[in-house]
Structure 1
Amino acid sequence: MRHAVPVRRTRRRQAVVGAAAVVILGATALPVLIHAATTAGNATEDRPANASSSRQRTHDAAEGRHHDASGDGTDGEETTTGQDGQKDGEKTKGDERKPSGDAHSPSGSATGGTTTPGPTLAAASPTCDRDQLGQGSGSVGAADDHGRVYGVFRVVNVSRTVCTVGGPGEVTARPKGSAESTRVSVVDHTAGDAAAGLPDPATEPSQVILQPGQAYEVKFAWVPAAGGGPSGCAKPAPATPAPLASPSAAPGSGTAAAGGKPQANAPAPSSPPASVVLSHTPDVGEPKAVDTTIPNACAGTIYRTGPLATTTPTS
């Protein structure tokens, strides 16, 4: 008893001291555990950025092993990562080459080819100067059953450079002889008008690009005034009654005048033939390029087109 009682008391004191130590250690470790949990959460949130950086470092390491001739590929995991990195690198380089080919080829191919010169040529062709347009000519056809006459003006690009005719220019009419100036007019050709033989105005180009030696055309039609015949002014001649013979006049002699002297009938004065002179001036201004004449034209309307391109250069 003397020995057992002190031993039990010693063990109790040790148990109490141990429990107190555990409580003290737990209270001390609790802030550390809270801090560790917070740090782990932040690390989880930052993991995508770290993964991206790790992938970049892995890719760089793979490229380094790809270019290093002394690498033997002993580590299996590193060798597999290097192959994946190499494939990604090849795809990236292929993707980088595609925009380069597209930038140099309008059709999207890397080699490129000849493109249609229409829009480029139109954008690069300046407007024709007046001294670039010459060798004007005009022609007039025969009248049809209704007296309509069709004709054409031609003007050539006499320079050595390409140029553009951007406007319709002018067509003017000048009546001559007995033609009636107040009854002659020039209008633009429109769909459904009396000049059915002219091209459809819907097909006319907004501008004409002329190669060196190539000509443009302006077509026209003369339509005489209604009821005036081919000239537009023709009127039926009135019937002239036969003169009565005078009793004092000797047979076979003319009409007796005062004093008994015979006098012959005076002929009617002749009028100059009617015609209309047409002139064409290019859109860049005077001087005019060409004249042509419509014969037997007295009153009517001239219908005209805009500039039309010809298919072959003028020799």
Structure 2
Amino acid sequence: MAARTTVQAFFDDKTWTVSYVIVDNASRCAAIVDPVLDFDFKSGRTSTVQADKLLAYIAEHGLQVQWILETHAHADHLSSARYLQGKVGGRIAIGEHIREVQATFKKLYNLERGFLPDGAQFDHLFKDGEVFHIGTVEVRALLVPGHTPADMAYVVDGAVFVGDTLFMPDVGTARADFPGGDAHTLYRSAQRILALPPETRMYVCHDYPPNGRTPAWETTVAAQRAGNIHVRDGVSEAEFVQMRQARDATLDVPTLILPSIQVNIRAGQLPPAEDDGVSYLKIPLNVLGKA
């Protein structure tokens, strides 16, 4: 049966992030998945180079954006969801467990009293298994925690958008040592995704190509089950947890974790401007990482 949707990927080589536009071919309605806001850490300047590529594609194809979907509150790039919404509309959505992530990081950043960890910064919070539509095409939201408590995957038209839960087979899986992360839970979430039909196309949110491989972002459930270096068929939960915990203990804190999460838990909105009209990002000292 012919695909009812078109998927266009946009790769950001600065953060190794892949954003997507999913198009219902019949209605020309669309959803954006995991959009990137450019951020130069050294100067503290944001820009919209990556987001504007999505806007150009949307304009060229005459699309109506209904959804801006986040798979989770990313730790490696800032979200451009709010900027894109201001240009093309759409409802910004994420999983309902974002409230747990917001509560954790409100405390870590000592955020302003007016920031409430209730998820109201987003237009919609998905429950596990919730069904929604892009135009005439049905989409199902799956809760896949482990990397963070709030990770979601989106199943649509024979494809699944997995965020950071799984990477390409030769890269493996996401880390599970962020606040609220858990390797046991991550394994079970990966198995939930891998229980989808083998022919399901899988779109990942990042690629970190080994051995000089060209960046890639599309695979299948069958390819993951056969060859994922961390969770292929036959790898037990105990084996995975031992590997994941040992590996995570060697990993550095992501470069953009502190600037990105305080924007991403606000659905891509910068912190409120202070009395000089400038927004400021907070960097808590001596909190994250190794002592």
Superposed pair shares fold, TM > 0.5: no
Higher helix share: 1
> What TM-score results when the alignment is normalised by the length of structure 1?
0.18
> What TM-score results when the alignment is normalised by the length of structure 2?
0.19
Relative contact order (C-alpha < 8 Å, sep 6+): which is higher?
1
